[in-house]
Amino acid sequence: MVHDDEPVLFGRAGGTARITLNRPRALNALTHPMVMAIAAALDRWEHDPDVTAVILSGAGERGLCAGGDIRAIYEDARTGGNASPAFWRDEYRLNARIARFRKPFVALMDGIVMGGGVGLSGHAGVRIVTERSAVAMPETAIGLVPDVGGTYLLARAPGALGTHLALTGNTVGPADALLCGLADHFVPSGRLTALSEALAAPGVRDAADVRETVLRYAATPSEGRLAEDRPWIDACYAAGSVPEIVDRLLDSGLPAAKDTAQTLLSRSPTALKATLAAMRADGPPSTLEEVLDRAYRASCAALTHPDLVEGIRARVIDKDRAPRWSPKELARVTEADVARFAAPPPGGDLGLAEGTAHLAP
C-alpha cells in the first residue's frame, strides 16, 4: 500500500510512470532512502513495456527539490562523517543512471531546484522550467564544491556564465536556465497538469512523441539578465585565479560586477578555489561519470574541512549568515588545500567512469 506520507510517491497514468518527491515542508530535500527508492523504481520501469516515459515532480507548490538534506550532512560531519559518503555514492550513481535512462525522463523543474534537485533533473532527457523556477548550485555558500554533475552542466554553458554561477551560487530563472543549458523547455506552471495528462495518452510511445507533446505546451519565458551581463562576466572570469577574478570585478566600474565581487568574498575561500579548479577540469571532453567521480572526491574532502560545518551552521542552523571561514582569506588558501579536493578519499573512489557498465540493470 502507498501512503501519502511516504517521502517519495510512485504512480502510473497511462504509459507514464510518476515520481513525486513528497517532503514539501522540507522543500522535498533528498535523503538516502529517497535515492534508493527512486533507483529501485527505475530498475522496474526501464524494462517494463507498459512504461513509455517517466515524469519527475515535487509535492507542494514551492519547488521540485531544494537539494540534499544538509542538516543530516551537518550532523554527520560533526560526528565522524560516515553516512554522507554512502549517501553521495548512491546519489551520484542515480544522477548518472538518470542521464543514461533508456526511456524519456521528463523533469518538471517547477519552483526551487537546487543542489541535489539539479542532480535529479538537470541530467534528464527532457527538462522543463516554469515562471516559478529558481535554479541554483549554491554549494560554495556552505563550504562545498558544486556536485551531482552540476559542474558538468555549468562547464558547458556559454562563455563564462557557468563559472559565474558555480562560484557565486546565484539563482537563475527560466530564461537564464535555458540559456545556460540547465533546462530545455519553458512551460507555464498552469499547463503542467494538462501536459502530464497529454504525456500519458496512448499515442505517446517514444522520445519523438514526448518532444512533440511538450512543444505543444511550451512557450517563451520573460527575458533573463545573463545575456545582457555576459560581456563583463566573460571578461572578468577569464582571469586565471579567484583573486584575479575578484580584482577584475572590483575594477570593472560596473555596479553589478562589484556586487558579484562582494558575493564571492562572502563565500568559503577554500570552496571557491576548489570550485574553479573543478570547473576547469570538468568541461569537454570529460564525461558525466568522470565528473561525478571527481565530485565524490571533492565532497568527501569537504566533509573533513571545517568550512562545511561552519557554512551550514551559518546558513541553516543558527541562520546568522556570518560564517567564520578557515582560512578566511583567499590569499591564505594554498595549492595543497585545493589539491585535497581532488585526492582519493580514505574509503576509496566512486569509480563510475571505470564501472559504468555495472550500473545498468
Cα separation, 175 vs 185, in Å, equals 9
The active-site residue, picked from 68, 119, 149, 162, is 68
Cell triple for residue 134?
529558481
- Please pick, among 91, 139, 293, 310, the residue that the annotation labels catalytic: 139
- In the chain, the amino acid numbered 310 is E
Separation between Cα atoms, residue 292 and residue 355, nearest integer Å:
12
Residues 17/23/24/28 CA torsion (nearest 10 deg): -80
Give the rounded distance of the alpha carbon of 264 from its chain centre. 19
Q: Is 116 annotated as catalytic? A: yes
Catalytic choice (14, 116, 143, 162): 116
Q: Hey, what's the cell of 319? A: 541562520
The yes-or-no answer on residue 68 being catalytic is yes
Query: Which one is catalytic: 147, 176, 282, 293?
Result: 147
What would the DSSP string read from start to end of 83-142? HHHHHHHHHHHHHHHHHT-SS-EEEEE-SEEETHHHHHHTTSSEEEE-TT-EEE--GGGG
**Cell 572570469, residue located:** 237
For 162, the 3-state DSSP assignment is helix
Verify whether residue 247 is a known catalytic residue: no
Radius of gyration of the chain (CA): 20
DSSP per position, 184-235:
SEE--GGGHHHHHHHHTSTT--SHHHHHHHHHHH-B-PPP-SHHHHHHHHHH
Q: How far apart are CA 329 and CA 41, in angstroms?
A: 46
Annotated active-site residue 15? The verdict is no
Compute CA distances 29 → 21, 92, 113, 277, whole Å.
Answer: 8, 15, 10, 28
Distance separating alpha carbons of residues 198 and 128, to the nearest angstrom: 15
- Active-site residues, by number, are 68, 116, 139, 147
